[in-house]
Amino acid sequence: MIGGLFKRRGAHQPGWLAISIQPGELHFAHGVGGAAGQCSIKRCGTQALEDDKQLERVAKELGFGRHHCLALLPPSDYQILLVEAPNVPALELKTAVRWRIKDMLDYHVQDATIDVLDIPVEPGAAGRPHSMYAVAARNEVIQACIERFTAAHIPLTVIDIPETAQRNIAALLEPPDRGLALLYVDRGQSLLTVTFRGELYLARRIDVGLDHLDEESSDSRNRLLLELQRSFDHLERQFPLALPAKLVLAPTPYETGLRSHLSQNLDIPSEELNFSDILELDEGVSLEDEVGWRLFHVLGAALRFEPRAL
């Protein structure tokens, strides 16, 4: 997402070290991205985190300084907005998008750091509007993130978001020339993404999470099912080429009954994600159930792939 904000620094290890600072703990994953079958996770884990002094100690003990590091923002720290792409030269794009979203923010647009994610125009769809996602975060949030990592001597190169981290995983699961839907269910909400040829066509948060699915009633499952159907209907109208061939469910810490419910009621097949099918896992790395769920987005962020050498 917010790549190119920072000047790159030399690092000894290939790939990316993704870091997410949560209340009371730190999640991290070191991955090397590429095409399906060529991605690997070298190490990952969770560390208790009481304060920034402990962040510095953990970073030193785990050798974060030997990596290209990226920070993963929590959803509360940014907004992702779907907008019509301005018809301007590339160098003027972010400025034009900034003024396009100024009335969508609850703070002054000049106080925002902006990045964009393009949604490719489908062949033969010249008459349709060209859309893109604008990602906006308060300058003070970005600056605080930079200062926190700098104080801990962590060489920060990129700030990323869960939507693009999830896209990285989805791109490894896509059937040839077909779209793919990937659903991650957190405690309070779910994140649905649809990708096609590695590009993000749909990113949507749905207010149904594990806490709701724990209820005995099937109302929450039906509500999630309805929102999935609405999302796919919208996609079929706007981007029919990206319509998903299947829905993949990210790991959950325990059985929720969601896959069975969706399999019985969705028009497309659904399956559960198995990391070992798409990733090489170094010795000692296990992503079963709760671990794969807890670290899901730092794993995806660590698979950031750029064809050019770092």
User: Which CATH number is 239's domain given?
Assistant: 3.30.420.40
Q: What is the number of structural domains in the chain? A: 2
> For residue 195, what pLDDT is reported?
97
> For residue 226, what pLDDT is reported?
97
Structural domain span for residue 126:
75-136
Give me the helix-helix angle, 219-238 and 258-265, nearest 10°: 50
The answer as to whether 153 is a domain residue is no
Check whether residue 129 and residue 193 sit in a common domain.
no
How many angstroms from the chain centroid is the CA of residue 95? Answer: 24
The answer as to whether 62 is a domain residue is no
CA dist., res. 160 & res. 157, Å (int): 10
> For residue 218, what pLDDT is reported?
81
The answer as to whether 282 is a domain residue is no
CA dist., res. 275 & res. 290, Å (int): 13
Check whether residue 184 and residue 257 sit in a common domain.
yes
CA dist., res. 244 & res. 193, Å (int): 10
Check whether residue 181 and residue 267 sit in a common domain.
yes
Check whether residue 189 and residue 111 sit in a common domain.
no
Check whether residue 180 and residue 265 sit in a common domain.
yes
Check whether residue 194 and residue 257 sit in a common domain.
yes
Closest CA to 42 of 299, 304, 288: 299
The answer as to whether 241 is a domain residue is yes
User: Which CATH number is 80's domain given?
Assistant: 3.30.420.380
> For residue 289, what pLDDT is reported?
81
The answer as to whether 10 is a domain residue is no
For the chain (310 residues), the mean pLDDT of every run of 10, in chain order, is 48 88 96 81 96 94 96 97 93 93 96 95 72 97 97 97 98 94 97 96 97 85 97 93 96 94 95 94 92 98 67
